[in-house]
Amino acid sequence: MPKQPPEVRRHNFNEVALGYTEEQALEEADRCLQCPKPQCVKGCPVEVDIPAFIKLLREGKYEEGIRKIKEKNSLPAICGRVCPQEEQCQKMCVLGKVGDSVSIGRLERFLADWERAKGFTIPERAPPTGKRVAVIGAGPAGLTAAADLAKLGHEVVIFEALHLPGGVLVYGIPEFRLPKSIVQAEVDYIKKLGVELKLGYLIGRTYTIPELLKEEGFDAVFIGTGAGLPQFLGVPGENLGGIYSANEFLIRVNLMKSYAFPEYDTPIRVGRHVAVIGGGNVAMDAARSALRLGAEQVYIVYRRSRDEMPARKEEIENAEEEGVIFKLLTNPTRFIGDEKGWVKQMECIRMELGPPDESGRRRPVPVKDSEFLMDVDTVIIAIGRTPNPIIQRTTEGLAVTKWGTIMADENGKTSLEGVYAGGDIVTGEATVISAMGAGKRAARAIHEYLMSKR
């Protein structure tokens, strides 16, 4: 797939991957074997009928093709861009066993982009059931649950705490990987299904869940509040100026569009030497954003080796092409500030890999007396996020795990009647598509619950 060249794209926030042309899409679609027992579908958390949509695409029936995808997936333009396809559908594709698997994600993206360019058709809704559902959080889990419930004829209101809908899709994943106009378009589609969106409503504060059920007239609630609480290293000097959590950094850049400061009012300061701590997608996004904001050197500082990095391979490669420098087997031990309280140096220790730990990955252990200093003026900590605690703190009787995630069964049912949950708030940090899968299953379960309640 064509991409912006690295030396160009490291100076702009425009989308990196440009998408297939019609010719390229048709050519790629032709490679699909239309397997009678397609393995790819098994790798898709929401069970998109992959061979069927590829067949329609190949026949030039784009409208039918996108309809086929949307039977299962309400956010195809998003998934086509950010799903870890190489770990899911494409990993299972038979062609992958002998060579290159079909680029299913790119084909999905092609059809979704085609539809958006032409304008959406709104599917039919079931007749109104008279039931009302409150969805909390407008991330992929909440949006999917809301869309499915609306199609089934329920009245749905989404309560989102931020002033824009999309969850991580708008506040976390940068514009150059997922343009915000696409998220907006897919949210508009969901609104056209009749879903009402209330922005600036922090549930737990503006209303609690018991209030939604008892006073505000909702028959069921779906919680899709994600994992938004940043973790810190807990080493000295972490509160110095210039040290951001990845969430803060990305919220400033993406949601508040600080890259366009001062046209947009929210500032961001990026120095010349930036260290991003962590090795996941979040770290890659932060590092690549820092480059685009004008940093001279951007380091990824990660305590294990490259093979253990949880980020998508494609994104690691993109970062490397753009000039991000990888400092592996390295861990910060303290931050040193200047007289104004701004970070100026970072002390690190070298690590080596010991035997595997509970996660199955080899455990990093510090190498004695290997401390060294790095000159940095900006540090971004991207070592993970835990669930938002506000709802758990304000909902009596809601069972929670020791990690702070909400306990829910396969269908999202929680310990409280009529209260369902799904996405990162249940699983901990996961993926867009798994959050959508959870939203879907919960919508089905909520529908059954509502219809049996009569």
Partner 1 sequence: MYEIVKVEELAPKIKLFEVYAPDIAEKSRPGQFIIIITGEKGERVPLTIAGYDVKKGTITFVFNEVGKTTRQLGMMKKGECIWNITGPLGNPSEIRNFGKVLCVAGGVMIAPMLLQVKALREAGNTVVTVMGARIKELLFFKEEMKALSHRFYVATDDGSEGYKGLSFLKDVLASEKFDRCIAMGPVAMLQTVCGLTKPYKIPTIVALMPIMVDGMGMCGVCRVSVGGQMKFGCVDGPEFDGHLVDFEELIKRQRMFLPEERLSALLWELGGCGCGAS
Look up tokens 């991957």; give the residue.
17
Binding map of ligand SF4 across residues 38-77, x = CB under 6 A, - = no contact = xxx---------xx--------------------------
User: Smallest gap, in angstroms, from Cβ of residue 175 to partner 1?
Assistant: 15
User: Smallest gap, in angstroms, from Cβ of residue 170 to ligand FAD?
Assistant: 8
* 243-262 residues near partner 1, rule: CB under 8 A: 244-245, 247-248, 251-252, 256-257, 261-262
Q: Is 25 in the site for ligand FAD (CB under 6 A)?
A: no
Look up tokens 């701004």; give the residue.
342
Q: Is the dihedral of CA 429, 86, 313, 11 positive or negative?
A: negative
The helix (run of H) or strand (run of E) holding residue 196 is strand 196-199
**Binding partner 1 by CB under 8 A: which of 21, 239, 370, 401?**
239
Q: What one-letter code names the amino acid at 271?
A: G
DSSP secondary structure string for all residues of 286-331: HHHHHHHTT-SEEEEE-SS-GGG--S-HHHHHHHHHHTPEEE-SEE
Binding map of ligand FAD across residues 354-373, x = CB under 6 A, - = no contact = --------------------
Which residues have a Cβ under 8 Å from the Cβ of 448 and sit 6 or more positions away? none
φ/ψ of 76, rounded to 5, equals -65, -30
Q: Residue 116: which region, alpha, beta or left (left: phi > 0; alpha: psi -120 to 50)? A: alpha
Q: Is 232 in the site for partner 1 (CB under 8 A)?
A: yes
Q: Which stretch binds ligand SF4 (CB under 6 A): 28-36, 235-243, 251-259, 356-364?
A: 28-36
Q: How far apart are CA 335 and CA 238, in angstroms?
A: 6
The answer to whether 14 and 259 have CB atoms below 8 angstroms apart is: no
**Binding ligand SF4 by CB under 6 A: which of 29, 32, 187, 383?**
32
The burial of 290, by beta-carbon neighbours within 10 Å (0-12 exposed, 13-18 middle, 19 or more buried), is given as: buried
User: Smallest gap, in angstroms, from Cβ of residue 205 to ligand FAD?
Assistant: 7
Q: Is 162 in the site for partner 1 (CB under 8 A)?
A: yes
User: Smallest gap, in angstroms, from Cβ of residue 82 to ligand FAD?
Assistant: 4
**Binding ligand FAD by CB under 6 A: which of 65, 80, 226, 242?**
226
Q: Is 424 in the site for ligand FAD (CB under 6 A)?
A: yes
Sheet harboring 325-327: ordered strands across? Answer: 243-245, 378-381, 273-277, 297-301, 325-327
By beta-carbon proximity to partner 1, the closer residue of 130 and 236 is: 236
**Binding ligand FAD by CB under 6 A: which of 85, 208, 281, 331?**
281
Q: Is 271 in the site for ligand FAD (CB under 6 A)?
A: no
User: Smallest gap, in angstroms, from Cβ of residue 105 to ligand SF4?
Assistant: 11
Q: Is 162 in the site for ligand FAD (CB under 6 A)?
A: yes
Q: Residue 373: which region, alpha, beta or left (left: phi > 0; alpha: psi -120 to 50)? A: beta
DSSP secondary structure string for all residues of 211-278: HHHHTS--SEEEE-----EEP----TTTTSBTEEEHHHHHIIIIIS-GGGTTTSS------SEEEEE-
Size of the site for partner 1 (CB under 8 A): 42
The burial of 194, by beta-carbon neighbours within 10 Å (0-12 exposed, 13-18 middle, 19 or more buried), is given as: middle
Q: How far apart are CA 322 and CA 288, in angstroms?
A: 8
* 235-254 residues near ligand FAD, rule: CB under 6 A: 250
Instruction: Give ∠ CA 72-78-80 in degrees, rounded to 5.
Output: 75
By beta-carbon proximity to ligand FAD, the closer residue of 435 and 450 is: 435
User: Smallest gap, in angstroms, from Cβ of residue 87 to ligand FAD?
Assistant: 9
Q: Is 108 in the site for ligand FAD (CB under 6 A)?
A: no
User: Smallest gap, in angstroms, from Cβ of residue 231 to ligand FAD?
Assistant: 12
- The one of ligand FAD, ligand SF4, partner 1, none whose footprint includes residue 94, by CB under 5 to 8 A per kind, is ligand SF4
- Strand ranges inside 378-417, DSSP E: 378-381, 385-386
- The one of ligand SF4, partner 1, ligand FAD, none whose footprint includes residue 404, by CB under 5 to 8 A per kind, is none
By beta-carbon proximity to ligand FAD, the closer residue of 113 and 175 is: 175
Look up tokens 């929210």; give the residue.
266
Look up tokens 């993970």; give the residue.
384
Residue 430 tokens read as 């996961």
- The one of partner 1, ligand FAD, ligand SF4, none whose footprint includes residue 391, by CB under 5 to 8 A per kind, is ligand FAD
Residue 59 tokens read as 């026949």
Q: Is 25 in the site for ligand SF4 (CB under 6 A)?
A: no
For ligand FAD, the binding residues (CB under 6 A) are 82-84, 136-142, 159-162, 167-168, 172-173, 201-204, 224-226, 228, 250, 281-282, 285, 388, 390-391, 423-425, 429-433, 435
For partner 1, the binding residues (CB under 8 A) are 161-163, 171, 199-202, 205-207, 228-230, 232, 238-242, 244-245, 247-248, 251-252, 256-257, 261-269, 340-341, 388-390
